[in-house]
Amino acid sequence: MFVNPDAKSFVLRQLMATGLFNASIDKKDSDAVSKAVDFNFVDEKGNVQNTSSLRGKIVFINFWASWCPPCRAEFPSIEKLYTQFKDNPDVFFLTINEDSNPVAGKAYLHKEKFSISMYRSNGRVPSEIYAGTLPTTIVLNKNGEISFHHKGFANYASSKFIKQIEELSNE
């Protein structure tokens, strides 16, 4: 179990099922900043974009890697959240893959039958957003400001978190 990422992620998923690791946007995280912090990213077709182009949307950002057991543990909850909001034009999902070889990230998504798109960072990502800890998840409000910042795994499919995303999207 200690060397198998699937086994580790299974155990972590069981811990998440207890509800102890449910994400919540109840209060400002100490890492949150009240100014917009932007960075470039690349989509699957190689198009470079900047998070500033997503103003007016709630942006759910997750930094992950296919070899990371906590990332694997939380990814089903991210897929469930994505499924809930994929048709909402006010919510955008930016899952930034940090594998050294992006083919490994695509293979993982394909193997698990996840439908969420994969992106890569392009250039420097501000440390207020990502400082190297996997997984890291951020939610930007419609002004591009950080409403939620969490390092480590969490359950993003809880009804409370879904409702909080809906509330942010309605602001």
Distance CA 149, CA 129 (A): 8
Question: pLDDT tens digits, residue range 93-136?
Answer: 999 999 999 999 999 999 999 999 999 999 999 999 999 999 99
- The answer to whether the CB of 73 falls within 8 A of the CB of 9 is yes
- The answer to whether the CB of 139 falls within 8 A of the CB of 25 is yes
Does pLDDT of 161 surpass 80? yes
| Distances, alpha carbon 155 to alpha carbons 59, 75, 158, in Å | 17, 9, 6
Torsion of CA 86, 87, 88, 92, to 10 degrees: 40
Q: What CATH number is associated with residue 76?
A: 3.40.30.10
- 150: DSSP letter: E
Distance CA 95, CA 75 (A): 10
Q: Which amino acid is at 5?
A: P
Helix or strand holding residue 13 (H, E)? helix 5-16
Q: Which amino acid is at 114?
A: F
Counting the structural domains of the chain, the total is: 1
Contacts of 151 (CB under 8 A, 6+ apart): 31, 131, 133, 135, 136
Does pLDDT of 63 surpass 70? yes
pTM, two decimals, is 0.85
**Mean pLDDT to the nearest integer, 56-78:** 96
Does pLDDT of 1 surpass 70? no
Q: Which domain holds residue 114?
A: 5-170
Q: Which two tokens stand for residue 151?
A: 């390092």
pLDDT band at 31 (very low <50, low <70, confident <90, very high): very low
Q: Please return the burial class of 121, using the count of CB atoms within 10 Å of its CB with bins 0-12, 13-18 and 19+.
A: middle
